[in-house]
Structure 1
Amino acid sequence: MTVKHFSLEYNRADGKDTYSPGDAVSGKVTVVTSKEIKVQCLLVKAKGKSKVTWCEQDGEIPVVRSNKRNYFYFEHIILQDKNKGDGSEIIGPGRNVYPFSFDIPNNDMPSTYKGKWGEITYSLRARLTQSIWLVHKTKTKFPFQTKSEFPFASRSEMILIGLKEQQYATRISFGSGKVTINVTSEKLGLEQGEAMQVFLEVLNESARPVTPKFFLCEKQTFVAPTGRTVHTNDILFGMGDPVPPASRQVLTKVLSIPPGLPPTFYNCCMMKLEYQIKITLDAPLMKDPEVKLPLVILHGSHKPHQRKKERSTRFKKLTG
């Protein structure tokens, strides 16, 4: 092969780890050849798109559901022959470097994301065409982050206040006796890597011990013109101490959001990502009662968060 090396690289966006709407994406294409070659075209493409695909059964027939959308598409021609196909452009022997630059549209577009049956990607592709039979291709993806501070709702004052308000939920279950769960979380919105206290009160009036478990519930929704599907995943945060029969337990649990967890988003027409906090009671011979609280995960500020101390568990024997 005359072309020994063909690569595509992009530069960091003004020292940032990700690109955003309105940023310029710059980089270089490197071509290393063993001798002089003639080329028809050398170009770079930039694309932002979302795509969903899944398969489901319609009776006995498997059906593929899919959808896609392009957010932008650009072509930057570095070299092109004067008459299409005549190979009049020349690349000299050795290492040849060609810079390029694109401006990302300043529109509301969702951040890079990869889910169970769909993904949002922003990519660069380079193509070197020597002839109809000899084409070299390379590609790379670059990270993109939306500029929308809250890509799930309006910027109204009610939403901003609501993210900081406490959340409450109660559940009463009957099996071998009544079990009541009261749960309070500090607020609705948390940044990536941030910690939050969850307050739990369990009134166990049953004849058996129950053990609280804390989960982070992830819900991915994918939409196509002919249907929709949902993928859920529960991440175990931790467990509390067993609550003996005929007793009351008050517990404070500190839950830390993993720094790499993708933020909540709704600003994509074919997929969305939501979260909840779920608390269950592992109870023998009883359908495990559970409580769910809404949770919105925001882009992290990249500042270290202090981990809050957990309060001690307190037990109180119920009197008849």
Structure 2
Amino acid sequence: MVKPERFEVIFYEEKEVYAPGDEVTGHVDIAVEKEMEMKDIKIKFTGEAHVSWSEEVGDEESNYCRTQTILKQKITAHGQESPEKPNKTYLPPGGHKFPFEFRLPQNLPSTYQDSIGSVRYYVKVRIEKDFRIDDKIYRDVRVSSGLNLNDDQNMREPVAASESAALCCWCCAGAIVGEVRIDRGGYVPGEWIVANVTVTNHSASNVRQSSIELVQIVSYYADGPSTTAEESLAQEIGPVCDAGSSTDLTNVRIEIPADVPTDSVDCDILKVQYAVTVRAVPHFSSYSCSFMIT
């Protein structure tokens, strides 16, 4: 059985990250010492999202999974029938280059990976052989999608959220009111969020600690069930708030990590979102300002 001596996917432009609308161009480099019999050589460019998780319900464990095909493009690079052997072709000895060109559609979700879900893009080359093990190779393509924040006036406007909760215990009855304001509704990775928080304590109990967090919220959707995971990316600790007083966290600067995935668009099974969340102890229901990272 003839195997390739060299089998590689070469990109002409070695981009670390591609954007929707970009072209992915390159060639497949194959070298064989002897003539190789095959059906064809196919080059596929695929984008797919996948989620999978388990949940315990009583004494039983249920497994959920779902896959969404985001894009699929295919070309046959080599595969011409031989008159002597229909549906077969041959690759002569030596080196061979098969060029390819794929254009990324608009509005793609960004590349993403965690323990439950993923969004992945890749070039796959397959040398298909009759009744034999096919030769295959993969090359990942990282995509970062996003909207132009300058095109949406709402993304440039400040965002605010508030929450009020009552403490019902007779010794500390009263309400704790909180408000958080951020300077705009959309950011790009690596930027700074400027947040202002006010906690007003109408109760008879001291708020021992307040905090403001940058939270990533990922939602996963199978066929029916769904689950959500949250991760704190950054946190700033605020002061105490004595009973009957108020406290402010003014112009708190929170840096968005440069490598966070942007908000997911056009993906039915995995959504990535972000929020600035405020918590207090004794805590009321935490309240959040949601925004886009694009």
Please indicate the TM-score interval, normalised by the length of the shorter structure.
0.7 to 0.9
Aligned equivalents of 1:134, 1:265: Cα separation in 2? 37
Q: Is the 8 A contact 2:276 2:289 kept in 1?
A: yes
SS in 1 for 2:5: strand
Structure 2 counterpart of 1:51, one-letter code? H
CA distance 1:149–1:80, change in 2 (3 Å): same
Q: Does 1:293 align with 2:283?
A: no
Q: Is the 8 A contact 2:156 2:186 kept in 1?
A: yes
**1:213 equivalent in structure 2:** 211
Per the TM alignment, residue 139 of structure 1 is displaced from its structure 2 partner at its CA by: 0.4
SS in 2 for 1:161: helix
Q: Does 1:82 align with 2:81?
A: yes
Match of 1:39 among 15, 25, 37: 37
More divergent stretch after superposition (197-206 vs 137-146): 197-206
SS in 2 for 1:261: coil
**2:5 equivalent in structure 1:** 4
**1:167 equivalent in structure 2:** 160
Aligned equivalents of 1:186, 1:230: Cα separation in 2? 27
TM-score of the pair, normalised by structure 1: 0.74
Unaligned 5+ segments in structure 2 are none
1:97-151 CA distances to partner (integer Å, 9 max, x unpaired)? 32222334x454323222442222221101224553242111012122446547x
Per the TM alignment, residue 220 of structure 1 is displaced from its structure 2 partner at its CA by: 1.4
Aligned equivalents of 2:288, 2:127: Cα separation in 1? 53
CA distance 1:171–1:60, change in 2 (3 Å): same
Q: Does 1:187 align with 2:195?
A: no
Aligned equivalents of 1:96, 1:66: Cα separation in 2? 40
**1:70 equivalent in structure 2:** 69
Q: Is the 8 A contact 2:239 2:247 kept in 1?
A: no
Per the TM alignment, residue 44 of structure 1 is displaced from its structure 2 partner at its CA by: 1.1
**1:275 equivalent in structure 2:** 274
Per the TM alignment, residue 28 of structure 1 is displaced from its structure 2 partner at its CA by: 1.3
More divergent stretch after superposition (271-280 vs 169-178): 169-178
Q: Is the 8 A contact 1:275 1:296 kept in 2?
A: yes
1:81-104 CA distances to partner (integer Å, 9 max, x unpaired)? 5246775423323x4332222334
Q: Is the 8 A contact 2:218 2:230 kept in 1?
A: yes
Q: Is the 8 A contact 1:53 1:66 kept in 2?
A: yes
**2:195 equivalent in structure 1:** 198
Per the TM alignment, residue 173 of structure 1 is displaced from its structure 2 partner at its CA by: 4.9
CA distance 1:235–1:111, change in 2 (3 Å): closer
CA distance 1:16–1:289, change in 2 (3 Å): same
Counting matched residue pairs gives 283
SS in 2 for 1:254: strand
CA distance 1:4–1:63, change in 2 (3 Å): same
Identical-residue share of aligned pairs (%): 15
Match of 1:231 among 229, 232, 238: 229
Structure 2 counterpart of 1:186, one-letter code? D
Aligned equivalents of 1:217, 1:202: Cα separation in 2? 19
- What do you get for the CA RMSD once the two structures are aligned? 3.1
More divergent stretch after superposition (133-142 vs 108-117): 108-117
Aligned equivalents of 1:290, 1:11: Cα separation in 2? 52
SS in 1 for 2:157: coil
CA distance 1:85–1:238, change in 2 (3 Å): farther
Structure 1 counterpart of 2:288, one-letter code? L
1:203-229 CA distances to partner (integer Å, 9 max, x unpaired)? 456464622212122221112223222
Q: Is the 8 A contact 1:169 1:291 kept in 2?
A: no
